[in-house]
Structure 1
């Protein structure tokens, strides 16, 4: 067999195979059109549609760094550095019952590289005023009197697994909440976790004046705590007045039998606010039965908020605390916070 014969035979075989495979040729599928993220402006800025759904999602959070000072603020040290990272996911969509909301807030606090805590700060479902899950209580300090740091107007943890209902209008709201109070706390002997509390809040606004009235009942101690807060826009800022009373030490408030306080948020410029504050506590001591007995205290200080740049804030707080029959002390912090 000559080389010419071999080449001709190979070419013929390849031609036959090519013809046979042509009938079964694979055709690549057309690529699907890419769905770009769409802005959702129905619930305010920052929301976008989750691709392929009618659910809107926002992602926010902050990084916070603090330099804290005070007697034994960290073990036997009077100084401590501390960092927090927090991310909040908020989803919203419309149903036949109204807006369905779901919120997840994840938080990590770090004293140092090895002493860190990660936790679920919030995780709740909200529909038509009914909210269930881990959520901030109305007793939460940061959402009550304002941006100052002088006030002490709640006790223990202010985040609970709760079921609550809130009726809201722009100038009035009313709500009730049933809270699971899981943590141990210093009140009457034998009191422990797995407690239940009931809180109710009223809010009203008329012109430049607004106010809150809050009541909490601790079913374990069978004690009541009451708190009232009044805000009024006066001059270049806002005046805040507040008072508290407890029938006996309970989870919601056990700092004193009663307390009164005031603060003023002076808005010096668009970037600078100065907030002096004062609070007086009556009967801060507890006897062996968890009842208030005696001893008073007062607390005064000033907080300065300054906006360095867009989404970059700093806060300096210096507080003086003077209790009866105990050493007075100065404490506070310097904070830097980048929000997004």
Structure 2
């Protein structure tokens, strides 16, 4: 019996081996596993079959906002609104003789504007072309309603150069962009008209034990009238003590007789001097608190002349899990007979 069983098993193995070699049988497909690419930081991986590294990142936010409007000139109704927005970004990089060749695009969606192509650019070495954040400093207060300096918090189609390896943490940059934020085909000049552009520049130092500092400026032209805008801003991000950060900035913007420039309340202005101070403290590993104040000194000569404006915010940010945060904030803005109070809470998922 043992002999018969052994002979049968041998015949089965031989038959199977022979059958596996028969002509026409497909060979097992090779598996090309995704490999980690650590040359450009965490999150990158090689696209199978290529030398290009790719990173996919994104964010989803959902929350609720309560707004209370007051004053004789604020005619908006008090309201409670639900909010949801998201973005996904694709960052592809390849080493070349010209340096790193990078392409990036980002799709953004929100509850008011639908789906937008928020960024789409190609970067080779120091040079970036396409739809991008321009180089001037757009930092504002900390928090949900970050209250930025508008001329520097600007995304448009254009070209820029940013050199960040001058030594000692020093960097310098400059760029030229469309003067509007159209993401399709913004017209910067047509026959018989002046060019409509924004030119921006920045110089600063970063990566220091005390923090960073920069000075930036913008000049925005329009294809009619003489109401061009120019502005300059100085920003300091300071590390005062462990877990405590401070941001201070001052900016001046000249808007050309109030037709192109508005303050935080939406009132027309000739020029605005901005002063802002904000602080953030990491209470525990998951919990951070922050507060900020911003004061706008306004010069206006139009019929709807703006007054000086003061704005402040106070908020908390709690990490429920890695990449998942619960945030809450209250904001208040006041200008003569206009005022507004806002309370916001939202859940944020980042990857």
TM-score, length basis structure 2: 0.77
* Alignment-derived partner of residue 248 in structure 1: 255
Q: CA deviation at 1:223?
A: 3.0
* Alignment-derived partner of residue 302 in structure 2: 287
* Structure 1 spans left out of the alignment, 5+ residues: 1-24, 185-191
Post-superposition CA distance 1:247-303 (Å, at most 9, x none): 325899642511111011111111111111111111164626xxx965211112212
Residues 124-143 of structure 1 aligned to structure 2 (within 5 Å): 124-138=121-135, 141=138, 143=139
CA–CA separation in structure 2 for the residues paired with 1:241 and 1:219: 28
* Alignment-derived partner of residue 105 in structure 1: 106
Give SS of 2:338's match: coil
* Alignment-derived partner of residue 121 in structure 1: 118
CA distance 1:151–1:48, change in 2 (3 Å): same
Residues 8-157 of structure 1 aligned to structure 2 (within 5 Å): 27-71=24-68, 76=77, 78-110=79-111, 117-138=114-135, 141=138, 143=139, 146-147=142-143, 149=145, 151-154=147-150
Q: CA deviation at 1:47?
A: 0.9
CA–CA separation in structure 2 for the residues paired with 1:90 and 1:301: 33
Paired residues of 1:319 and 1:332 also in contact (CA < 8 A)? yes
Post-superposition CA distance 1:73-105 (Å, at most 9, x none): 9x8451110111211111011000111111111
CA distance 1:252–1:44, change in 2 (3 Å): farther
Paired residues of 1:197 and 1:217 also in contact (CA < 8 A)? yes
Paired residues of 1:218 and 1:252 also in contact (CA < 8 A)? no
* Alignment-derived partner of residue 205 in structure 2: 204
CA–CA separation in structure 1 for the residues paired with 2:28 and 2:299: 71
Tell me which of 209, 214, 217 is aligned to 1:215: 217
Give SS of 2:33's match: coil
CA–CA separation in structure 2 for the residues paired with 1:65 and 1:242: 30
Tell me which of 289, 292, 297 is aligned to 1:274: 289
Q: CA deviation at 1:167?
A: 0.3
Give SS of 1:151's match: coil
CA distance 1:226–1:251, change in 2 (3 Å): farther
Paired residues of 1:259 and 1:280 also in contact (CA < 8 A)? yes
Give SS of 2:164's match: strand
CA–CA separation in structure 2 for the residues paired with 1:33 and 1:210: 50
Residues 176-215 of structure 1 aligned to structure 2 (within 5 Å): 176-182=174-180, 195-205=196-206, 206-215=208-217
Post-superposition CA distance 1:120-141 (Å, at most 9, x none): 1111111111001111234574
Paired residues of 1:151 and 1:261 also in contact (CA < 8 A)? no
Q: CA deviation at 1:157?
A: 7.1
* Alignment-derived partner of residue 308 in structure 1: 320
* Structure 2 spans left out of the alignment, 5+ residues: 1-21, 183-192, 264-270
CA distance 1:307–1:194, change in 2 (3 Å): farther
CA–CA separation in structure 2 for the residues paired with 1:138 and 1:36: 39
CA distance 1:307–1:285, change in 2 (3 Å): farther
CA distance 1:251–1:317, change in 2 (3 Å): farther
CA distance 1:67–1:156, change in 2 (3 Å): farther
CA distance 1:107–1:209, change in 2 (3 Å): closer
Count of aligned residue pairs for this structure pair = 299
TM-score, length basis structure 1: 0.79
Q: CA deviation at 1:32?
A: 3.6
Give SS of 2:150's match: coil
CA–CA separation in structure 1 for the residues paired with 2:346 and 2:326: 5
